[in-house]
Structure 1
Amino acid sequence: MSWDGLAGIVREARRAGDRVGYFAALYRQVTVEVRAAIHGGLFDDGARMDRFDTLFGNRYFDAYDAWRRDRSGPRCWRETFGLLDDADTVIVQHLLLGVNAHINLDLAVAAARTSPGEAIHGLRRDFLLINDILARVVLVVQDSLGALSPLMSLLDQVGARTDERILDFSVRQSREEAWYNAVLLAGQNEEEREATIERLDIRAAVLARLIARPGGVVRPAMQLIRSTESDDVPAVIAHLDHAMERSSARPGTG
């Protein structure tokens, strides 16, 4: 199951001080929330969403394994993993690079494989619910970054973070596009699917480069943010890995 695999990546990343644990910690919490929703009967078809969750997670594991093996895999994941050793990349960039690749490429592919052909239309409500869970976790984790990145508020001041938008990357818009692409993929033959997946990967890789190297006033703001961030990678991973627990424990939340 994806939760166990993610827990292993997070554990190993904490031990090794590897920034791959940043996004893995965020994504582990998504799988925990999805599992709770499945067990709570919130989805129209829990067994189907269990398959979806597994297919979605396997996209990440396959990309991670390909990168570790020979620096291969989808372009957008290569852009993401390629910045893990870049000391100038801020925490939120690492998180958004992973979110970008997973939403703008993997989400549609996993949905289409879960419900191919006309069956895709019956997935819409559960797809939107899983996306609500994903967006909620992303926002909680972003909001928890203040303890690690004291100047994160600079992004608001330079207009780079408004309505789920950071560095020209909109989670909301990407979720809507992922559904459109899922419907497209579900109705295509194998050759057409390969071409569509290639196009989605190229587009997500372009977005990854924009997230990694923002222009205008955002760039100096990011440099200033990075200068005050925690360099304790294991501590950052541990903090990110418990963001949802802290959110649920606060009065008036959860």
Structure 2
Amino acid sequence: MAQLEHLTTPVDTVARRMRALGAVLPERDGVGVFNRVYLAVTEEVGRHLRTGEFTDPRAAATLDVRFAERYLAAVDAAAAGHRPPACWRPLFQLRHHPGVRPLQFALAGINAHIGHDLALAVVDTCRALDCRPVDLEDDFDRVGDLLASLEERVREELMPGPDLLQIADPLTHLLGSWSLERARDATWTAARALWALRDCGEVAEEFADRLDAAVGFAGRMLLTPLAD
């Protein structure tokens, strides 16, 4: 729809940045694995915006871009030799580990981005649009549904085949302990709490820091090396 073009342009801009990253990151690089997954999500959001499938296209586009910018900021921080947020550190630290499987890299990135970045992106969007989290709930759920369908596809595509059962057995056990659905529900609660605390200064900052650290801890567990 032509009237939605001004909304999809910023989404296309972050997608181009992800494509550029994908062109230079090695295929086995853990950040590159996640980047391919996230690019697919961003492109799908763009398609849904063009076909008018979001309740509030402006809010959905703003949320998607603010969300993506947090991942890209972590990439920039790591590239500049700075420490990215705690939620992203395990992925950047273990991105070349030979004992970590591609599926682990993908889900660790999803964990960092959903568990931490999405909650802060909801608050960013509410500030930008002068609205409340409840006003974004329908489109938050639509984006979450896209992520859930993609997670299922990623698990199918990246899970080792039957000839690698010695890897698949511990991998299935490890990754079965993490659920995108549970992470999504926790993120929505965290976003509402952060919004309620938005004028509480140090309390809000401490809450965000604790969320960052907790998500980073989960990411480190997801990246447990399973083979040398």
TM-score bracket, normalised by the shorter chain, equals 0.7 to 0.9
Please, what is the CA RMSD of the aligned residues? Answer: 2.3
Taking a change above 3 Å as real, the CA distance of residues 9 and 132 of structure 1, as seen in their structure-2 partners, is: same
1:3 alignment partner in structure 2: 15
Q: Distance in 1 between matches of 2:169 and 2:81?
A: 40
The count of residues paired between Structure 1 and Structure 2 equals 211
Taking a change above 3 Å as real, the CA distance of residues 139 and 154 of structure 1, as seen in their structure-2 partners, is: farther
1:127 aligns with one of 124, 133, 140: 140
> Does structure 1 retain, via aligned residues, the 8 Å contact 2:87–2:215?
yes
> Does structure 2 retain, via aligned residues, the 8 Å contact 1:113–1:186?
no
Q: Distance in 2 between matches of 1:175 and 1:183?
A: 13
TM-score by length of 1: 0.76
Q: Distance in 1 between matches of 2:62 and 2:165?
A: 38
Residue 106 of structure 2 is aligned to residue 106 of structure 1: no
2:133 partner amino acid: I
Gaps of 5+ in 1: 214-218, 227-254
- Between stretches 55-64 and 190-199, larger displacement belongs to 190-199
Q: Distance in 1 between matches of 2:223 and 2:40?
A: 24
Gaps of 5+ in 2: 1-12
| Residue 129 of structure 1, CA deviation | 0.7
2:49 alignment partner in structure 1: 38
Moved >4 Å (runs of 4+): 151-159
> Does structure 2 retain, via aligned residues, the 8 Å contact 1:37–1:43?
yes
> Does structure 1 retain, via aligned residues, the 8 Å contact 2:111–2:219?
yes
Percent identical residues: 27
Q: Distance in 2 between matches of 1:17 and 1:80?
A: 13
Q: Distance in 2 between matches of 1:100 and 1:159?
A: 16
Residue 166 of structure 2 is aligned to residue 150 of structure 1: no
> Does structure 2 retain, via aligned residues, the 8 Å contact 1:118–1:186?
no
> Does structure 2 retain, via aligned residues, the 8 Å contact 1:63–1:74?
yes
1:166 alignment partner in structure 2: 175
2:19 partner amino acid: A
Taking a change above 3 Å as real, the CA distance of residues 158 and 23 of structure 1, as seen in their structure-2 partners, is: closer
